[in-house]
Amino acid sequence: MKPSVNLLSPDNHALVLIDFEGQMAFATHNIPVSELRTNVAIVAGASKIFNVATVVTTVAEESFSGPVFPELEEFYPIATSGYIDRTSMNTWEDENAYKAIVAKNKKKIVLAGLWTGVCIVGPALSAIEEGYEVYIITDACGDVTAEAHERAVQRMIQAGAIPVTSIQYLLELQRDWAREATYGPVTSLMKKYGGSYGIGIHYAHNMLKH
C-alpha cells in the first residue's frame, strides 16, 4: 500500500515561483490573466498550508517588471519572504537563486511562472540536466501566445519534465481527507479560489454539514 515515489508530497520537493509580475502578465495571452492569478493563489496557498520548501524569484522588480501578483504576496509578503531578484532570464544561471534552490536539498523541483518558453524552460532543462526530477504546473504558467506556451511545455516534456495542474498539485499534497490538520485550510483555499469546485465545497459544508 505504498504510494508511488513519483507522487509529490509536502516534504519531497522544492517549489520555485518565477516572475509573477505585472509586466510579465501584460503580454500573457495563452490563459486569461484572471484565471492565471487564481491558479497562482492555489499553488502559493498550497505551499503555505503544507510548509513546502519554496523559493520566490523576480526579474528586475524595481526597474522593469514591477511588483508580484497580490495573490502571491498574500501568502508570501515581500517584507518577510526574501524574494530573489535577478537579471538573468534563466533562474538557474543566477547564483543567488541557484544556491537558494539547491540548498532546499530536494530531488524534485516544481516550477511555475512567466513566461513558459523562457523563464520556465531555462531552469527546467538546466535542472533536468543536473539530475533533478522536474514538474511543471502548466496552468500556473503563461506565455505570449498559446502556441508559445504549448511548444514550451512539449519541449520540457520531451526532456523529461512532468506536467501537473494547480488543483492537482494541491490535492496531491493533501491526498487523504482524513488528514484533519490540513483539511480545513485546503477546503477554505478552494472555497475562495477553486471556482466551481470551490462552490461545491461551500455547498456541501453548508447544506450537507460536511
Kindly report, residue by residue over 97-112, the tens digit of the pLDDT.
999 999 999 999 999 9
What is the overall mean pLDDT for the chain?
95
Please give the share of the chain, as a percent, with pLDDT higher than 70. Answer: 98
Same domain, 121 and 62: yes
Q: Are residues 144 and 46 in the same domain?
A: yes
- Considering the domain boundaries, does residue 4 fall inside one? no
Both 48 and 65 in one domain: the answer is: yes
Residue 161 lies in a domain: yes
On whether residue 5 sits in a domain, the answer given is: no
In this structure, the answer to whether residues 101 and 201 fall within a common structural domain is no
Residues 166 and 182 both lie in one domain = no
Task: Let me know whether 139 and 67 are in one domain.
Answer: yes
Which residue of the set 41, 46, 97, 119 is catalytic?
Answer: 119
123-136 pLDDT per residue, tens = 999 999 999 999 99
Q: What is the mean pLDDT of residues 188-197?
A: 94
pLDDT at 16 over 80: yes
| pLDDT reading at 180 higher than 80 | yes
pLDDT at 81: 86
pLDDT tens for 146-161 read 999 999 999 999 999 9
- Domain shared by 139 and 158, yes or no: yes
Q: How many structural domains does the chain have?
A: 2
Task: Tell whether 35 and 98 lie within a shared domain.
Answer: yes
pLDDT at residue number 206: 85
The type of residue at 158 is Q
Q: Judge whether residue 22 has pLDDT over 80.
A: yes
- Residue 204 vs residue 124, higher pLDDT: 124
What pLDDT was estimated at residue 198?
A: 87
- Tell me whether residue 107 is in a domain: yes
Q: Where in the sequence is the domain holding 54, given as residue range(s)? A: 13-175
Residue 137 lies in a domain: yes
Q: How big, in percent rounded to 5, are the helix, strand and coil portions of the chain?
A: 55, 20, 30
Query: Known catalytic residue: 141?
Result: no
User: For residue range 79-93, what is the model confidence (pLDDT) as tens digits?
Assistant: 788 899 999 999 999
Question: What tens digit of pLDDT does each residue of 33-68 get?
Answer: 999 999 999 999 999 999 999 999 999 766 678 899
Beta strands 84-86 and 53-59: pairing type? parallel
Q: Count of H helices and E strands in the chain? A: 10, 6
Measured in Å, how far apart are the chain's first and last C-alpha atoms?
27
pTM flag (> 0.85)? yes
Q: For residue 209, is pLDDT > 80?
A: no
Each as own residue / partner, the long-range contacts of residues 96-99 (CB below 8 Å, 24 or more positions apart, any chain) are 97/55, 97/57
Co-location of 25 and 37 in the same domain: yes
Give the pLDDT confidence score for residue 60 in this predicted structure. Answer: 73
Q: Which three cell numbers stand for residue 90?
A: 534563466
Q: Are residues 169 and 187 in the same domain?
A: no
Look-up of cell digits 519531497: 12
